[in-house]
Amino acid sequence: MKNGKNILIFSIILFGIVFVSQGVIVGHSQEWTDYKDSDQRLIPDWVNQVVDWWSEGIISDREFATGLGFLVKEKVIEVDTRIVFGATDQEILDTKNIEINVDEDIVIPDWIRNGAKWYTTNQISEKDFLSGIEYLINEDVISFGEKSAYDYEKMNSKLIANASPIHLENNQKIEFSTDVIEKIIDGKKVQMFGYNNQSPGPMLIANQGDTVTIDFKNNLDIPTTIHWHGLRLDYKSDGVPHLTQEPIQPGETFQYTLKFPDTGIYVYHPHVRTEMQVDRGLYGNILVQEKNDSYQNFQIPLILDDIRINEENFIEYDEDIVGHVLMGHFGNTMLINGDSDYVLEVPQNEILKLYLTNTANTRTFNFQIEDQNLKLVRSDVSEYEKNSFVDSVIIAPFERRVVEVMFEHTGVYDIIHATPEKKYSIGKIIVKESEVKIDKEFFQVSENTKIVEEISEFKKYFSIEPELELEFDLKTTLDLHMDSMEHMDSMEHMDSMEHMDSMEHMDSMEHMDSMEHMDSMEHMDSMMEGSMDHASIISQGMSMEHDDAMHQHDDGSMHHHGSADGIEWEDEMPHMNKMSNEKNTKWILRDKNTGKEGFDIGFEANVGDIKKIRLINSEDSMHPMQHPFHLHGQRFIVVSENGEMSSNLSWQDSVLVPKGSTIDILVEFSNPGEWLMHCHILEHHESEMTSKITVKS
């Protein structure tokens, strides 16, 4: 019976599609053709994804057909009745008597829900929808072939990718590009950047030990590069402007050679105006698997991000100057896999391996799933010595963590970002009933003997003295003691002061008088006229005369809500942050012993060296906050924090150094070349919180 019903749905859909493919769309075809000719790129992302997934076999015939059935059920046919059921009223009437049902057993994939939801809520236009359907037809997606059962086991992969995956063979060469794209985020149509017209970019899936070539073309009107974060590849392909290559100019090409010595989840992103280009959507995952990997469980990459979209649906950046340097650019919309409304559907009792990546400019996430323990199994570059059950995982920008989770009970679960003060639901997981029997072994923790053995060889170096002690510091001409401005009660509602038209909330703003200390801010004027539109309204509107109030609060203390753990979870100084830029504010890496800063540090090592580097994030600096430290092209072990030895080790390429902490890392210098080390808060990096290490072969 079940099959019969499905076949019915298929035949209806096929019937409709045939009409479409023959161009029998009264009233639409003309507009449609124009539209398609004028701008191919307006085909929505979800359609491109569907086509790719379909051709890759990631979604089955049946999934696809079910999806269309779902669109019908969701009353998408109110508009496209003619598409699905025919051109004439009689044809529509003839078919309307047939009841359309989506089989309750069938898991509706995310892309279908999204497609239907976006369309029915007018987030994608009829034009977009129609051109998408046409695209599917042109791509022969309608040739259904055999009707495979919806069965994860029979699919060639249990990978639920965050973007259309590209499975890479050894020595394969692929084409890659950066492009301007449009995306719907939180109901807003936003102009963004994508890799191969997608954001997140395609998920690259490679085998450990392989080599592949990326023929890259920059289709943006600004220079860019691609950095392959965490890969120990040849430094000529590391994508660092002016160090390993020149920036790739608009229209130009560059060839990258990727190598994958380590398994795990990695992330690629630009390294030119990184803070702006990443925020606009340029990032993607790389999954490196063991050769002949027969991993049978679900693999689900989740890219955590935030993005700042203004009222005009625009991601605002100054083309000429890096802004928000003080704390980095916090977004006002949180995303999973580029979606502000992420929904994942999974079967009950299956082991789900979640690959977490943080691509936010500055926001550290504290990842949780409602009512679930997470089995933490991996960090950046390797598994942990032993896995452990945790409630939550703190993940700083561009770190990766891998957790496993198993849902014993069906239902809907929130994916949560939990700060000490607030819990944000940033997505949902729908757990469907399944036949799968629970595997009690999942709840055991175990040791990873391979990693234990590998790391044990390095333990004899754990007690060596550091050869480099790096201090984190800040220089700014801003008067950060104007902190009372940051403590307006209503501040948290003000969203970085974008909406502060009304001055009645500004009772504590009288402290703005210390603006007079800002005479050294040569860029203040242009800031006020340019990207600081809203802030300039504030400074005009507020009184500069209440001199006396200023000093009452000027105790020199900086208040940081929720930072008892040494992490700034929110933009606690939105006004100062917005005033800060790369000219008036510089973050610094300093060699404690020589006093040299940034690229002047000139640290060197030889291939084969094992050296300790101490990262010192003193609480006494001008604005102490956490910094995620990243070293290119090598791997390291976090040996200790504040003198306390780490109890569960792994290989990493990044480490979060909370405010007031000192962290020792043991670096295995295995890869010759010129390698960057920097803070991965992107605005900090762009404001020179960066140095390099030369590794000689």
Name the site residues for Cu ion (rule: CB under 5 A).
627, 679, 681, 684
Q: How far apart are CA 109 and CA 100, in angstroms?
A: 18
Q: What angle do CA 678, 687, 182 make, to 5 degrees?
A: 90
Tokens (6 digits) for 296: 């049978």
CB of 334 to Cu ion, least distance (A): 20
Q: Answer positive or negative: Cα dihedral of 462, 466, 467, 469.
A: positive
Count CA atoms within 13 Å of residue 221 on its CB side: 4
CB of 11 to Cu ion, least distance (A): 59
CB of 275 to Cu ion, least distance (A): 12
CB of 628 to Cu ion, least distance (A): 7
CB of 562 to Cu ion, least distance (A): 18
Whose Cβ is closer to Cu ion: residue 536's or residue 618's?
Answer: 618
Packing angle, helices 110-120 and 45-56, rounded to 10: 160
CB of 402 to Cu ion, least distance (A): 24
Main-chain phi, psi angles of 13, to 5 degrees:
-65, -45
Whose Cβ is closer to Cu ion: residue 393's or residue 681's?
Answer: 681
CB of 328 to Cu ion, least distance (A): 7
CB of 153 to Cu ion, least distance (A): 46
Q: How far apart are CA 680 and CA 637, in angstroms?
A: 18
CB of 578 to Cu ion, least distance (A): 17
Q: How far apart are CA 686 and CA 582, in angstroms?
A: 8
CB of 627 to Cu ion, least distance (A): 3
Helical H segments across 474-546, by residue range = 524-529, 533-541
Q: Are 497 and 575 in contact (CB under 8 A)?
A: yes
Instruction: Compute CA 653 distance to the chain's CA centroid, rounded to the nearest angstrom.
Output: 17
Whose Cβ is closer to Cu ion: residue 227's or residue 378's?
Answer: 227
Q: How far apart are CA 114 and CA 89, in angstroms?
A: 29
Please give the C-alpha separations between residue 241 and each of 103, 120, 406, in angstroms, as whole numbers: 53, 44, 43
Question: Which of 204, 5, 233 minimizes the C-alpha distance to 98?
Answer: 5
Whose Cβ is closer to Cu ion: residue 16's or residue 658's?
Answer: 658
Q: Are 628 and 659 in contact (CB under 8 A)?
A: no
Whose Cβ is closer to Cu ion: residue 62's or residue 632's?
Answer: 632
CB of 597 to Cu ion, least distance (A): 14
Whose Cβ is closer to Cu ion: residue 119's or residue 629's?
Answer: 629
Whose Cβ is closer to Cu ion: residue 275's or residue 486's?
Answer: 275
Please tell me whether the peptide bond between 223 and the residue prior to it is cis, using omega within 30 degrees of 0.
no
Whose Cβ is closer to Cu ion: residue 241's or residue 658's?
Answer: 658
CB of 136 to Cu ion, least distance (A): 45
Whose Cβ is closer to Cu ion: residue 134's or residue 572's?
Answer: 572
Sheet holding 264-269, edge to edge: 165-167, 203-207, 284-289, 264-269, 227-229
Q: Are 382 and 262 in contact (CB under 8 A)?
A: yes
Whose Cβ is closer to Cu ion: residue 298's or residue 587's?
Answer: 587
Whose Cβ is closer to Cu ion: residue 9's or residue 588's?
Answer: 588
Whose Cβ is closer to Cu ion: residue 417's or residue 684's?
Answer: 684
Whose Cβ is closer to Cu ion: residue 481's or residue 684's?
Answer: 684
CB of 324 to Cu ion, least distance (A): 12
Packing angle, helices 2-21 and 126-138, rounded to 10: 100
Q: How far apart are CA 448 and CA 445, in angstroms?
A: 10
Q: What angle do CA 514, 618, 669 make, to 5 degrees?
A: 130
In 260-370, where do the E strands start and end? 264-269, 284-289, 298-307, 333-336, 342-347, 351-358, 365-369
CB of 623 to Cu ion, least distance (A): 10
CB of 274 to Cu ion, least distance (A): 13
Q: What angle do CA 573, 579, 583 make, to 5 degrees?
A: 125
Whose Cβ is closer to Cu ion: residue 220's or residue 679's?
Answer: 679
Task: Count other C-beta atoms under 10 Å from residue 107's C-beta.
Answer: 17
Whose Cβ is closer to Cu ion: residue 232's or residue 271's?
Answer: 271
CB of 363 to Cu ion, least distance (A): 12
CB of 119 to Cu ion, least distance (A): 42
Q: Burial level of 330, CB count in 10 A (0-12/13-18/19+)? A: buried
Whose Cβ is closer to Cu ion: residue 183's or residue 684's?
Answer: 684
In 407-461, where do the E strands start and end? 411-418, 423-432
Q: How far apart are CA 364 and CA 396, in angstroms?
A: 4
Whose Cβ is closer to Cu ion: residue 199's or residue 581's?
Answer: 581
Q: Are 191 and 230 in contact (CB under 8 A)?
A: no
Main-chain phi, psi angles of 62, to 5 degrees:
-70, -35
Q: Are 559 and 486 in contact (CB under 8 A)?
A: yes
Question: Which of 660, 671, 694, 616 minimizes the C-alpha distance to 381?
Answer: 671
Q: Is 426 left (phi over 0), alpha (psi -120 to 50) or beta?
A: alpha
Main-chain phi, psi angles of 118, to 5 degrees:
-60, -40
Q: Are 200 and 288 in contact (CB under 8 A)?
A: no
Secondary structure element (H or E) that encloses residue 483, with its range: none
